[in-house]
Each structure stands twice: as structure tokens, then as C-alpha cells.
Structure 1
Amino acid sequence: MKFLKVSSKSSPASVAGAIAGMVKDGAPVNIQSVGAGAVNQAVKAIAIARGFLIPTGVDISCAPTFSDIEIGGETRTAIRIAIYVHRISAQSSSSYLGPETSDDGACMGGEAS
């Protein structure tokens, strides 16, 4: 299995473009990150990619797992994130962006996703 490797220095917008492109091409998307900063960048990229894809009638979700990998002779724990693709109708795509929030981040209604 091939992984899109994301580091703490990866640009979320660039990774999001790669995710969206792979989804549009029908390629499986699996992300691998090591460290909190890298996982943060990966999650931001997934959120940005979702924003790119929803207007086209495609939504994505993800599932993280732990994996032990070897880097430079050391065993490290990686977070692997599988991306799942969901087709949606264009009519309902605006409701897929999640609940509205106020400036302080409080939920304004709807279910948290």
C-alpha cells in the first residue's frame, strides 16, 4: 500500500490538493504521519480537501489507525489515516460542511460530525 507522507513542515493546502486530485482520479488515499505536528498538518489538509470536494458532489471521511514503522533503524509509532469517499447530491452539498459555529467556536445547531 502506498502512503501520502505528511510531515510537520508539509503545507496543508498542498497536501489537500494532492488528496483531492487522488480522490478525483479514483486512487485510494492513505496518509502516514509521525508526530503530533505531522498529524495536525494531515488533519488540516483533510479538512481543506473536503472543502474542495464537497461542491463537486463528493464528500470524504477518514479513519485513523496506529502503526509501528522503522525510521533510521528506530521503531516509531505512525498514525495512518484512510480516506473514504462518499458521493453526495449537489443539492445537499452545502449542508455537508458541518454545523455553523459562532466566533468563539460554540456550536450553533446541528449535530457535530
Structure 2
Amino acid sequence: MEILKVSAKSNPNSVAGALAGVIRETGSAEMQAIGAGALNQAVKAVAIARGFVAPHGVDLICIP
């Protein structure tokens, strides 16, 4: 499985799009964030991606 790496400088909308794409293709995704800033961007991306996949009947959850 491909790991999506998130940094503090990552754009949450871009990460969300990548996350939603991986979830649509494989059904699951894995992200890596090291540090508070990166984790903040990753959490934002999960929230945004949840809105992207919801119309397709997918409920996105996050397991740390």
C-alpha cells in the first residue's frame, strides 16, 4: 500500500484529493505525518476528503 506523506507545508485540499483518489481505487489509504504541523494538515485533509467521498456512500474514519 502506498503511504501518503504529509508535511507541515502540504496543502490540505491537495492531500484530500489524493486521499479520496486512493480510497476510491483501493478502499483504504495510509498517511504518514511527523510533527504537530504535519499532523494538523493531515487531520484537515481527512475532514475535507470525508466530504469528497461521502456522496459515493463512503464513510471515512481515521485510526491513529
Q: Same fold (TM over 0.5)?
A: yes
Q: Identify the structure with bigger relative contact order (alpha carbons < 8 Å, sequence gap 6+).
A: 2
Counterpart residue number, 2:21 = 21
SS in 2 for 1:5: strand
Counterpart residue number, 1:10 = 10
More helix by percentage: 2
Unaligned runs of 5+ in 2: none
- Aligned equivalents of 2:47, 2:36: Cα separation in 1: 17
Tell me whether 1:38 sits opposite 2:38 in the alignment: yes
Root mean square deviation of aligned Cα: 1.2
Bigger Rg, structure 1 or 2: 1
Percent of aligned positions with the same letter in both sequences?
59
SS in 1 for 2:59: strand
More strand by percentage: 1
Query: Residue 49 of structure 2 aligns to which amino acid in structure 1?
Result: A
SS in 2 for 1:60: coil
Q: How many pairs were matched up?
A: 64
Deviation at 1:2, TM superposition (A): 3.2
Deviation at 1:48, TM superposition (A): 0.1
After the TM superposition, list the runs of 4 or more consecutive aligned residues in structure 1 that deviate by more than 2 angstroms.
none
Q: What is the TM-score normalised by the length of structure 2?
A: 0.92
Query: Residue 57 of structure 1 aligns to which amino acid in structure 2?
Result: G
Q: What is the TM-score normalised by the length of structure 1?
A: 0.54
Deviation at 1:27, TM superposition (A): 5.2
- Aligned equivalents of 1:44, 1:26: Cα separation in 2: 21
Bigger mean CA offset, 6-15 vs 21-30: 21-30
